[in-house]
Amino acid sequence: MRYYFCIDKFAGLYKEAHKPMCPRTKEQNELIRIQRREQILDVAARSYFRTGGSFDIRDVAREAGLGYGTVYHYYPNRHLLIEDVLDSGFERCEQVIAEWEDISGSHPEDRQLLTYCKALLQLWQSDARAYLVYKMAAEHYAGLPEKDRHHAKRRFMERLYVPLQLIAQCEDDSVDHMLAVLVGCCGQYYYAGNFDLDVDRIARLAMQAIMKES
């Protein structure tokens, strides 16, 4: 009697363990796709920052903890991957300046700039893609093919640089000096990779730079 009971119990456990899993829904698959893509783009941005663009799809896959075939499925070559990294970074930076434009009218000019500097630094701290947009702009997007370089420069000028210049009411050199401080200080954060970004202090330094040049 006990023998048959054990057999029945084992058979039940076996069936439970080998029961076919319910297939994922379309929504679940889409969520996984988005999460993997975001993971790949984050790793690629950091890889670009460290290597100047001389990384391989296999390097991204290894650092992201994904199979080479998985990353290759999303991005069969490095050019497409870098293109998406920049496009995503631009979107996030444009969102910050759009939000800043909405609130800028209610603050004095110097307060507007300080708020913007802090918002940009906070974004860069958590998003290597957004930082890469400005770092590459400081280098005139030299690492991109010529046709992509022209498009990136124009997008940066039209969507990020000119709106900042108009609201800040500053000359070109002043804006350049302010951005140079922000990009340089945040670059130290990414190179070290082991300390917090002092957003308030760096924003004040950037403000000092722009006031000296005004």
Is residue 145 helix, strand or coil? coil
Structure tokens at 30: 């889409």
Measured distance between the N- and C-terminal CA atoms of the chain, rounded to whole angstroms: 94
Q: pTM here?
A: 0.80
Helix (H) or strand (E) holding 76: none
What average pLDDT score do residues 147-165 get? Answer: 93
The DSSP string of 146-179 is HHHHHHHHHHHIIIIIHHHHHHHT--HHHHHHHH
Confidence of residue 10 (pLDDT cuts 50, 70, 90): very low
Q: Is 55 exposed, middle or buried, given 0-12, 13-18 or 19+ CB atoms closer than 10 A?
A: buried
pLDDT at 13 over 80: no
What average pLDDT score do residues 20-40 get? Answer: 81
What average pLDDT score do residues 50-54 get? Answer: 81
Lowest mean pLDDT: which of 2-11, 66-75, 78-87, 113-122? Answer: 2-11
Structure tokens at 34: 């988005």
pLDDT at 72 over 70: yes
